[in-house]
Amino acid sequence: MSHGARVIRTGVSSGGPAAPPPVTVASSSAGSDAELMDGGYFRSCAGMLKVAQMISLLIGFISVNNSSWTDYSAYSFFQIVSMCDLVMILFFYIMHIFRVYRKLTCVSWPLAEFLHYLIGTILLLIASIVAAAKSYNITGLVAGATFGFLATILCVISMWSSYKVSCITQSTSK
């Protein structure tokens, strides 16, 4: 298995000043590693999916928060689950943008993100079902439950796509 030839330049020569290094593929990829932010993640499908999840969770939270409640426990559970999910999705979004996963290699980031989506999606589905059942046709509560279901669907899509990518990556690397 060939990884390509690498040229090591010391910059010191007995014949005079060193010439500038030639532009190679390795130096261009090293330049992208030195950047602080990953600009391509903003426009990627996974990045836009995370933004859509955060927006739907925020709209659902605001809709429920600004409505008159009839059942305190059902809607406080919905608010807690939606805010915890939003914070975790924002955490993983920032982690991808600033490439933290490259610096902290002691954590299996794909597994951590998959488990977050698995647990968060189940809790969000339960919270949305309970919120829809206890809404009593109050528009703000119905809207909150609807955006909760939308966020659940987006989380399932994200979980499925991350699992699919993980399986493809593992199967082709052998």
Domain coordinates of the chain in residue numbers? Answer: 70-172
When mean pLDDT is compared across 68-77, 93-102, 134-143, the lowest value belongs to: 68-77
Residue 22: CA count within 13 A, CB half-sphere: 5
| pTM of the predicted protein model | 0.73
Q: Is residue 62 over pLDDT 80?
A: yes
pLDDT (0 to 100) of residue 45: 92
Mean of pLDDT values over 27-50: 74
pLDDT (0 to 100) of residue 148: 97
Q: Is residue 31 over pLDDT 50?
A: no
Residue 37 banded pLDDT, cuts 50, 70, 90: confident
Q: Is residue 150 over pLDDT 70?
A: yes
User: Which residue from 1, 29, 2 is spatially nearest to 102, judged by alpha carbons?
Assistant: 29
Residues 153, 111: contact at Cβ < 8 Å?
Answer: no
Mean of pLDDT values over 61-89: 92
**Secondary structure letter of residue 99 according to DSSP:** T
Compute the distance between CA of residue 171 and CA of residue 88 in angstroms, rounded to an integer. Answer: 28
Compute the distance between CA of residue 157 and CA of residue 109 in angstroms, rounded to an integer. Answer: 18
3 state SS of 122: helix
Q: Is residue 14 over pLDDT 60?
A: no
| 95 CB neighbour count, 10 Å cutoff | 17
Compute the distance between CA of residue 117 and CA of residue 153 in angstroms, rounded to an integer. Answer: 11
